[in-house]
């Protein structure tokens, strides 16, 4: 299926450094104009859940800029997601930079609107708390979901600073408590670094979340790790969340909470390719903080991950037709 209306602008026609930046040089559409869109790329320019180094509110803009480096065809499959699906840049989600609870409400409402149009969302954060309102919107449509979560952190903490429950360290504890995720179908890959205490790991164990530390990943390797993940989520509706701090900070210094000793980019790309065929209902790549990496390399890393996700999502869409 090719619909020229939805094709990415080729670097052969307009040089990559020219033109207004949209995600992967795709057409930009408002949600009201998006009746025929299969997959929507959405920016969430918000970092009100950040507990340490801020900046992911600037993520979507730099990711759009760096995504002009993405070409249309995957070099291994020889195929383009832009031939398989109608994909558009749906712009940025409405947010409130000074009110956490209002921001969560606005983001959820926006995604309900997107899902009403049967658009599969692939989001660019924003800090990791952005995933919570997206999951709230998705759960209204799909019920409790599975999740494959790539991160140095579990994001299963209860609260920060005397009981505040909504930060980028707590989204998946809330999502499990609210019944948005089926915790027995949640797998976290890449956990590492020092922790405040074992509270998040205890929460995960109590709810049967499968937590794969970077050390266990080293033992299993890419193929076996992803076999474990695939078996765990099976064919249930599954969300994919990719925190850019899961690759080593050598590859992604521009993030709020870097932890040394992470994946190489190559391992991360290989793992995303192994998501083929899963029942993916949405995905995000979060925590890109441009002020900590003015080179833009972290954002390039993130949009390259988004392209791999897009290839998998577009392929699945066709398979499910």
Binding positions for Mn ion, rule: CB under 5 A:
128, 151-153, 155, 243, 245
Place of tokens 């859940």: 49
E strand or H helix that includes residue 148: strand 145-150
Q: How far is the CB of 318 from Mn ion (least distance, A)?
A: 31
What whole-number distance in Å separates Cα of residue 244 and Cα of residue 138?
22
What whole-number distance in Å separates Cα of residue 306 and Cα of residue 292?
20
Place of tokens 């919107």: 137
On whether the CB atoms of residues 38 and 86 are closer than 8 A, the answer is yes
Q: How far is the CB of 154 from Mn ion (least distance, A)?
A: 8
Closer to Mn ion by Cβ: residue 245 or 267: 245
Closer to Mn ion by Cβ: residue 21 or 176: 176
Q: How far is the CB of 24 from Mn ion (least distance, A)?
A: 24
Closer to Mn ion by Cβ: residue 34 or 152: 152
What whole-number distance in Å separates Cα of residue 131 and Cα of residue 308?
19
Closer to Mn ion by Cβ: residue 84 or 192: 192
Instruction: From 208, 174, 214, 168, select the one nearest 194 (Cα to Cα).
Output: 214
Closer to Mn ion by Cβ: residue 70 or 283: 283
Closer to Mn ion by Cβ: residue 155 or 248: 155
Buried b (16+ CB within 10 A) or exposed e, 282-301: bbbbbbbbbebbeebebbbb
Taking each continuous run of H as one helix and of E as one strand, the counts in the chain are 9, 8
Q: How far is the CB of 9 from Mn ion (least distance, A)?
A: 32
Q: How far is the CB of 314 from Mn ion (least distance, A)?
A: 25
Place of tokens 């080179």: 295
On whether the CB atoms of residues 44 and 95 are closer than 8 A, the answer is yes
């Amino acid at each position: 299926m090719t619909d020229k209306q939805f094709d990415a602008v080729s670097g052969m026609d307009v040089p990559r450094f020219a033109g207004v930046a949209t995600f992967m040089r795709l057409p930009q559409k408002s949600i009201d104009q998006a009746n025929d869109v299969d997959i929507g790329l959405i920016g969430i320019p918000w970092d009100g859940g950040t507990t340490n180094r801020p900046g992911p509110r600037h993520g979507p803009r730099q990711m759009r800029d760096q995504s002009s480096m993405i070409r249309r065809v995957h070099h291994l499959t020889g195929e383009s997601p832009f031939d398989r699906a109608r994909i558009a840049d749906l712009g940025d989600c409405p947010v409130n930079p000074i009110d956490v609870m209002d921001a969560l409400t606005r983001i959820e409402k926006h995604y309900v609107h997107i899902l009403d149009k049967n658009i599969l969302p692939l989001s660019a954060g924003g800090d990791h708390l952005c995933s919570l309102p997206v999951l709230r919107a998705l759960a209204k449509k799909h019920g409790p979901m599975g999740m494959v979560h790539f991160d140095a952190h579990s994001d299963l903490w209860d609260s920060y600073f005397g009981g505040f429950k909504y930060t980028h360290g707590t989204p998946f504890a809330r999502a499990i408590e609210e019944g948005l995720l089926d915790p027995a179908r949640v797998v976290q890959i890449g956990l590492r670094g020092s922790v405040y205490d074992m509270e998040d790991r205890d929460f995960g164990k109590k709810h049967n979340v499968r937590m794969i530390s970077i050390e266990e990943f080293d033992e299993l390797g890419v193929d076996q790790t992803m076999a474990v993940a695939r078996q765990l989520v099976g064919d249930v509706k599954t969300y994919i969340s990719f925190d850019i701090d899961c690759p080593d900070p050598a590859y992604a210094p521009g993030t709020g909470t870097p932890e040394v000793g992470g994946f190489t980019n190559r391992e991360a790309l290989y793992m995303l390719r192994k998501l083929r065929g899963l029942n993916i209902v949405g995905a995000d790549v979060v925590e890109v903080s441009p002020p900590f990496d003015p080179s833009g390399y972290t954002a390039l890393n993130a949009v390259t991950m988004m392209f791999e996700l897009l290839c998998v999502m577009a392929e699945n869409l066709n398979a499910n037709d």
